[in-house]
Chains A and B, each alone.
Chain A
Amino acid sequence: EAGVTQSPTHLIKTRGQQATLRCSPISGHTSVYWYQQALGLGLQFLLWYDEGEERNRGNFPPRFSGRQFPNYSSELNVNALELEDSALYLCASGSGGGAAETQYFGPGTRLLVL
């Protein structure tokens, strides 16, 4: 069974541009979670989507947004990129429900903002 996949593996952008990151969950999973792993800041929760709806949001500005498609894949969009957005962005999937569910992580997309 295929795990969580993310694309691209690496992304280089300049300040002010927009970045789009993609995630495909494990087959049968309906929830997608996004996390940012920035140097010195650790892993921080960004967004949670389940059944196409945004269910929870971390403490990030509105220029971080996303969506979940009918096939449960997801996009994370970061607008007006800033240098401090450089980080590894991890996607995880789960079987839905949020509480007490195990999240399975993908390999991540490394975003570099110049």
Chain B
Amino acid sequence: DAGVIQSPRHEVTEMGQEVTLRCKPISGHDYLFWYRQTMMRGLELLIYFNNNVPIDDSGMPEDRFSAKMPNASFSTLKIQPSEPRDSAVYFCASASQGGSYEQYFGPGTRLTVT
């Protein structure tokens, strides 16, 4: 298995632009998580899905952030419009109930908003 796949690995954009981050979970996993990591705030859970349905989006910072999971093998996290304070590393992770919820992280997307 290729593990969790994220794209792009690096993204540099200007303030006000739309940013879309992509994630492909491990095949067979029924949970998908989006995290944001910064030096100041550590590792924060933004939103997670179970069987493609959003379960808890309480960590989404504001309406500029949205996430979708149209099918079991693909999810997106969109920021529109982006701001410099959104600069961070965004991780996607997946897990399965059958695997006792052990989360496997993707390589992350480093986002820089100038």
Q: Do A and B bind each other?
A: no
